[in-house]
Structure 1
């Protein structure tokens, strides 16, 4: 497996790049590999499959070019990418357990995919996450094999005690600790060191054990976002054997000749610019690789006749493979913003309220890549916690003892996440809480057995129509289990416990919202939560060639030849962390698997 973090960062495309803006610009319609989606995983695949120079690779991206878009380059401006032209702007259906609210589900509609619009948090996952992938896929090749390395933070501060350098590796994605210190940083780390226990200080959550409080690592280098596009794709656009076309939607994949031994070989990709525009067909002599994301991949499979038979027949789509798991097992991390009024002159509301301050800080960033703009609009410190032993005795749905149930992120300002708007005055701290081991993917009747992680229900993705330009119907079923809502209530109480320590005296004035009991907390969570935008699982990996799972442990789609899936849709269980780095690792291993099949 390749290692992931370090040295190249480019913001603009070289003049000789082969970036096409229309499928009509393609010189040839025959390739060795066609990668559907130029996002996080697709960019890795484009790089690795074209690097020997012998194989022709086409990447088809529905979205736009990533170059020169300020909101996706400047870390602090990242939230501006949501609900914009670089966002697919997906939305859930009304969530029953959240008082029928619909939840926004941002995804990157741009080269680099969601790595170009996310909050840049870098967690490679605990050892247990990867060992659990190996167990669920019955393939030891998915167990952990050491990854990741940091670049210096923008402010050049001494990082001793904040990271373990020997736990990191080397590769194209730039990662770093915060480059702009906040007044919260020493308070959070000091509290963790003094209180210990569940909140203990963890020097480096990327060293294999996620549990504890630590400094956050981000996919940022030299004060700018490092995405899959800037790290993997842009630097190689000069390769003559690589074509990348944007503004182009794949509408279906299919076999061009009759099935052999009842197994069709998928070798043809149908591409269009618009719902009513002409379709162009491209063929792949070796493989088609679906990297369209957790929503796009499942939708495209069903449009192509691979999915639950009843769903396909309802839409009068000819069934190529009855694959019951397509679109099932969708799961995400619920997120809640907890606000506190604080005694501060440096919290970042002043930037959100005052355009001239923001312009000055942006000028500082442009001049020397320093200041507030070098960090995401999130926190420099975070905690990953196990539930207390008495909350759900003898039940832990996480991947293992090194993975968490709860996350807390400490933000030096008011993060407008959810329905609460930025107040017109006052200084604030936001503590983001998340349930990172949700059971809204599990059959709760299985709790009485010892086999908790093998029986799933989860959210669903279904077709809205047979028009590939229509968004699918997305139902993550948030808070559909008592474990999930009670774990969020516990997270809210954990925040109160943490900030009640003496180090916070004189800083916290009061909570933004007061609660009298757990019932009030649960109601608040249902009314105000969104997600961390970590949806996974709609084409999950399963062992062997059976119907359990959509792909096998080599990520090949079961029931067909020539088609592989490489993106977060294949995760057999949601990682108990931010999954960006997991997607890079997945794509690196997939590249090795593909090359072992086709490269001499």
Structure 2
């Protein structure tokens, strides 16, 4: 194994001639790692790499990034937009699944999580959308994050005038960055525009620029991809590769952090310090000491798990695992939210429409040659470029009765049993905010995605359902091969029944939509009835890969885990910088928000 790893390191050094010990190789890490660093960053995805890049702009600061996954050497299925979604190296995924979902059909659902330098940005579908102007946390909504959205990106609207006219693309460059590390652009090929025409006829507005603050409408979304090569742009290429020559930035791949070392003012663990009597201090991980801060950026699933096994979390959970309680923090691992997605929901059947499913035989060779020769053609198009975020009012005349049904329930009625009073209080406030959001006509309720292979998928943007994440063992991370078995993830999809309410529409008739088997046999000549549709939803529901909320930035008395500086309550120098800090999953794809959050916290 070390020979293969050495070969990878040799290739890396030929790609980046000035490495200056940036990558600490697994075979010789004990000889290369420093005894202490100013900052230790746990997780090499978006949050971790952005923070490490910005901190090491100060050459007097030393930073160590520890990533459990490998340094990737991506294949075409990862880097070529038109092939994204056709599989990736299994080693890039933690291979975690949910527990059986009792409010669906009791099946487990795979929950892909990036296990690679670059994290989820190596695996995601590329679309980049920002949350809209409606938000709850002062300073952390669209306006508060706008400077950091702009700081993170270099946006290029490089499209033919006919394409921009046909697809209603008019970029507002006043809200986009032009000198950031992350390239964002539109693909050089777009599939059918019938979807936009169809939803427009239903009264859903067409948006010129989906990232200008209003998300309720239909649009072509930009993607994180290189303008020149039309290939994936990810957090590694954006924030790590450009920092390759900094001797004060070390990244150690294939290094799984087992726990964060916590004590009183840097002392050894085991001293019983009350929550707010004296703040606990993170002083390192394993055999490496930290002088300033430990920054946890392992994602919304694994960050709360790592906090729990380090002694920070609900006291009852920690005592069950025989873990010494450093900070009794009930919100750690609670408030799990995700965009539940039904995929595929409808198939196109109009044979006159060209889709990615038609790329085969001689056409495949032609498309491949065009992409690698000119960086144009169908392979420049990601799986998802065309979406709609219709408001609840535009979807159904029964919108008010749906909201009334939710508001008539008690806060704890659809939550897991035995919730701490702070969790109940926090959820009640969240629910009131969601009811407000869904009452407005400029906030999307669902995302409808028209993909390149000829199917339509639907996801719920503002779920009321809440789930949990918890460790099943104090030694979850003792071996990276067994992590999945020692983690319990329960999103509790559709525990609030209104999340799975079926909103049927007669949209997009030109596409001749047809539900997938076996529901196509039940459809008959008219639309599917609600019972059949609900069955289809419960059997086909999957994740849209947007878990959030498990280390929420909320007041402690509302079940919060971090304060507005993203410092964990009860600690002096432990931060969380990933999607887990978002108290409500945004009504957008989450990667743009996480880039901006990490940029903001580094100010």
Identify whether the pair has TM-score above 0.5, normalized to the shorter chain: yes
With 341-350 and 238-247 compared, the bigger mean Cα shift is at 341-350
2:575 equivalent to 1:560: no
Give the Å deviation of 1:262. Answer: 3.2
Match of 1:334 among 331, 335, 340: 340
Q: Render the CA deviation track for 1:423-448: whole Å, top value 9, x for unaligned.
A: xxxxxx211111111110xxxxxxxx
Alpha-carbon distance in structure 1 between the residues aligned to 2:105 and 2:380? 37
Alpha-carbon distance in structure 2 between the residues aligned to 1:220 and 1:567? 21
1:437 corresponds to which residue?
462
Give the Å deviation of 1:393. Answer: 1.1
Q: Are residues 246 and 318 of structure 1, via their aligned partners in 2, closer, same or farther at CA, if it must alter by over 3 Å?
A: same
Match of 2:260 among 238, 253, 266: 253
Alpha-carbon distance in structure 2 between the residues aligned to 1:13 and 1:539? 37
Alpha-carbon distance in structure 2 between the residues aligned to 1:21 and 1:146? 33
Secondary structure at the aligned position of 1:106 is classed as coil
2:561 equivalent to 1:550: yes
Q: Render the CA deviation track for 1:31-62: whole Å, top value 9, x for unaligned.
A: 11111011011110011000121100111111
2:24 equivalent to 1:20: yes
2:586 equivalent to 1:575: yes
Q: Are residues 158 and 431 of structure 1, via their aligned partners in 2, closer, same or farther at CA, if it must alter by over 3 Å?
A: closer
- Contact 2:281/2:572 (8 A) holds in 1: yes
2:538 corresponds to which residue?
526
Q: Render the CA deviation track for 1:554-585: whole Å, top value 9, x for unaligned.
A: 10011112110000011111101111100001
Trace 1:138-177 onto structure 2 (pairs within 5 A).
142=144, 145=147, 147-148=149-150, 150-153=155-158, 159=164, 161-162=168-169, 163-170=171-178, 171-177=180-186
Alpha-carbon distance in structure 2 between the residues aligned to 1:526 and 1:393? 24
2:257 equivalent to 1:216: no
1:484 corresponds to which residue?
499
Alpha-carbon distance in structure 2 between the residues aligned to 1:574 and 1:11? 39
Alpha-carbon distance in structure 2 between the residues aligned to 1:98 and 1:58? 42
Give the Å deviation of 1:96. Answer: 0.8
- Contact 1:212/1:383 (8 A) holds in 2: yes
Alpha-carbon distance in structure 2 between the residues aligned to 1:404 and 1:12? 47
Q: How many equivalent pairs are there?
A: 518
- Structure 1: stretches of 5+ with no match in the other structure: 1-9, 271-280, 414-428, 441-457, 593-600
Q: Are residues 314 and 357 of structure 1, via their aligned partners in 2, closer, same or farther at CA, if it must alter by over 3 Å?
A: farther
Trace 1:180-259 onto structure 2 (pairs within 5 A).
180-182=189-191, 184-185=192-193, 187-193=194-200, 195=201, 197=203, 199-222=204-227, 223-255=230-262, 256-257=266-267
- Contact 2:305/2:471 (8 A) holds in 1: yes
Alpha-carbon distance in structure 1 between the residues aligned to 2:362 and 2:32? 45
- Structure 2: stretches of 5+ with no match in the other structure: 1-11, 404-433
- Contact 2:390/2:445 (8 A) holds in 1: yes
- Contact 1:45/1:587 (8 A) holds in 2: yes
Secondary structure at the aligned position of 1:311 is classed as helix
Q: Are residues 584 and 548 of structure 1, via their aligned partners in 2, closer, same or farther at CA, if it must alter by over 3 Å?
A: same
Q: Render the CA deviation track for 1:126-163: whole Å, top value 9, x for unaligned.
A: 0113xx1228x8x9995655734632447796535403
Secondary structure at the aligned position of 1:432 is classed as strand
Secondary structure at the aligned position of 2:600 is classed as helix
Question: TM-score, normalization: structure 2?
Answer: 0.81
2:100 equivalent to 1:94: yes
Alpha-carbon distance in structure 2 between the residues aligned to 1:326 and 1:355? 52
Give the Å deviation of 1:72. Answer: 2.2
2:137 equivalent to 1:133: yes
Give the Å deviation of 1:13. Answer: 4.6
Secondary structure at the aligned position of 1:98 is classed as coil
Alpha-carbon distance in structure 1 between the residues aligned to 2:458 and 2:14? 36
Give the Å deviation of 1:398. Answer: 6.6
Q: Render the CA deviation track for 1:251-272: whole Å, top value 9, x for unaligned.
A: 10113415685322111112xx
Give the Å deviation of 1:348. Answer: 1.6
2:262 equivalent to 1:262: no
Q: Are residues 510 and 31 of structure 1, via their aligned partners in 2, closer, same or farther at CA, if it must alter by over 3 Å?
A: closer
Give the Å deviation of 1:591. Answer: 1.0
Alpha-carbon distance in structure 1 between the residues aligned to 2:300 and 2:362? 39
Alpha-carbon distance in structure 2 between the residues aligned to 1:358 and 1:398? 48
Alpha-carbon distance in structure 2 between the residues aligned to 1:430 and 1:225? 23
Match of 2:447 among 407, 410, 413: 407
Q: Are residues 190 and 392 of structure 1, via their aligned partners in 2, closer, same or farther at CA, if it must alter by over 3 Å?
A: closer
2:357 corresponds to which residue?
349
Q: Are residues 324 and 155 of structure 1, via their aligned partners in 2, closer, same or farther at CA, if it must alter by over 3 Å?
A: same
Alpha-carbon distance in structure 2 between the residues aligned to 1:330 and 1:355? 44
Match of 1:124 among 116, 127, 130: 130
Alpha-carbon distance in structure 2 between the residues aligned to 1:361 and 1:343? 20
Alpha-carbon distance in structure 1 between the residues aligned to 2:574 and 2:148? 29
Question: TM-score, normalization: structure 1?
Answer: 0.81
